[in-house]
Structure 1
Amino acid sequence: MDGRQQPAPAAGVLTYRATGLAHVGSAVIGLLALAFAGAGLRSGAYGMAAVALMLGAIPVCATLWLRLELTTRQLRYRTVLDTRTLSLDQISAVWIEAPRGAWSYWRALPMLVLSVHGAKPLVLNLRTLPDAAVVALGQALHQRGIGIGVADSPAARRTAARIWPPSRR
């Protein structure tokens, strides 16, 4: 520790960080980047080593920095590039979707989309956040009369079933 006191979390604040699997994935990418950087240093390609270290540091930092904080009144989502704080009253609709595209190597990428009054939507990657964060957000929104919709795709339905397993009768 560096001796500085960390502020105590406010009462009633639920804090969620990236899942363990997301940390493992970013660590593997970081280790691969270290291997490439070592190969670059051995061969004298210092530029390649620097680029490999930078590219390896990005997912590690992104995973470590990711945080979702939820209170009874607001949501705060922090990433490396941005921090957004929303009042839960600003959210008009929420749904789970899992689009496919070249950016996701044609695999479905499950995400939670929050439509916000007067602002761009907030998109949360459901592969990096724990299911408990989505459940807690869903409960907070349900108290405000907002349900979470599910897109009509197999991947979105599987994601919703994973987060909210069907009850056994």
Structure 2
Amino acid sequence: MSALDRPDQEANGPIDDVDVATLGEIREMYDLVDPMPPGLVTRVQFALELEEAEFELARICEESRLVGVRSIAEETRTITFDSAVLTVMISLRPVTEDRVRVDGWLAPAGEHRVEFRLPDEKRQTVSDAQGRFVVDDVPRGRLQIVVRLSQQDHHNGSAPVVVTPAVEI
């Protein structure tokens, strides 16, 4: 007997064993017809671990792949992220089957702190005066880039922070 079979009982009463059983049946139904995507909990936890309280979220505005004619290992992927204060372009080139080299460019150019957030580690580098940065030997998987701009925001005196969405590399 489910709660739907007891219309005469008050709906606002305390949750009882019948309610718990009904909720379990609903959960089982959703698990069958619309299961949670694999890795969803891990992706949400990764997104929530960002330490910055205030940041500008960049969006992916372009993505392309270029495959070499000699081998699939020559595949290069380029992703461009854009925000109101910064454009980030990265080129991903396989080094091994499970590692990539990331070449990046920031516009406007400048010496900015660039952090790579990976599931198990963080790596930091600084872009050069032309906005270029390179990180070798990055493990494949989820990657999010955090850029701490060197110039100060005139509104509140702090350096702006730009965060890209997490992407699979």
TM-score, length basis structure 2: 0.24
Higher strand share: 2
Greater RCO (CA < 8 Å, at least 6 residues apart): 1
Structure index of larger Rg? 2
Higher helix share: 1
TM-score, length basis structure 1: 0.24
